[in-house]
Amino acid sequence: MQLYFWCIVHQKTAIMKKLTQLTLVLLGCIVSTLCFSQQPFNNCTAAFLNDKMVVDKYTSKGRCLMTTKTTGKLTVCTVNLSPTTSKRVDPIPFRVAIRDSHTQTLMILSKADVKQIDIQRVLAKCRKGDHIVLLTTNNQYAMPHNEILIQ
């Protein structure tokens, strides 16, 4: 009888060990998948004025310039980049700040996220030499050209 009882307990213990190991492996797979799927800065974005990209070249030497008389709607969108064209895809939420040319102080202009903003509303707070700084609100969006110089 004791031997029978020992066999049943041993079988249950072996099953529990295997079940625990399987659960830990499954949990490890789920955690690693979640970690890999949340890599930051994996979507390229750019600033657009109406339908035209603000940066002159989407390269490390690209420049964003704007005059105080510019009009239109400013948006930040994800982009599909190719050697010949850059196509805007989806607008994303962003915030706007202004960097003062004399003190380098940043002043937040939009306290809430926006998907578009009238550029004249922003330029009304700027002087020549200031920078408009565009801030993404999610770390999945890379925005290498996030400052626009006001001429």
Is the model's pLDDT at 45 over the cut of 90?
yes
Q: Cα separation of 134 and 64, whole Å? A: 12
Q: Which of 91, 146, 90 has its CA nearest to residue 113?
A: 91
Is the model's pLDDT at 145 over the cut of 70?
yes
- pLDDT per position as a tens digit, 116-141: 999 999 999 999 999 999 999 888 99
